[in-house]
Structure 1
Amino acid sequence: MSTQEVVFGFGAHSEVADGPELVRMAQQADRERLDLISLSDHPFANVTNLPTRPAPVLARTVTSLSALSGGRVVLGMGAGGLWDRIAAMGVPRLSPADAVEAFEEALA
């Protein structure tokens, strides 16, 4: 029987203007020795949705977060699933097959 490690942390939903407060919360999490801080990428919680994030921009963003956090970034990515909400953000609607194909292309 395998066991899983228990981790402690918190998640936040934020906007760009919240940057200074998010940094303060992350520093507090470090001081309190929490295992993680999680930021949601709306409309998905804790998963970056590639249809709303061009791969080159996402790569630069994750590289910057990694540098700022001392390499402590875990990236979850998805092909998109809530297309009504994604389309409301101005992203062209994709079929499930096209979304998977775009996801695979972005990974490459």
Structure 2
Amino acid sequence: MPFESTISAVPTVLAENDRSKITRWDFEPGATTGWHEHEMDYAVVILTDSTMAYEADGEVTEKQVKPGDSYLRPKGVQHDVKNAGPGPLSFIEIETKP
């Protein structure tokens, strides 16, 4: 079931060139990215303590995250990310262009 939210996460592009794109994402409690699909492989580095919910392929995964946590994801997966915690959630997303 898709996340229900009227609050959108706020992306801020910090740097971009022909090889990569770096974006900071800031979420109020309950905010989501909305359904999207990356055209590039990407890495995420968490900046704040929070609870992150990730929905893809009909499954929701909820995880406690803390500053410095990181993960890699492949391009091409439709998904939505939600701040399921009581405070703000922020992370840096680094996309690598082909």
TM-score between the two structures when normalised by the length of structure 2: 0.29
Rg bigger for which structure? 1
TM-score between the two structures when normalised by the length of structure 1: 0.27
Q: Which has the higher strand share?
A: 2
Q: Which has the higher helix share?
A: 1
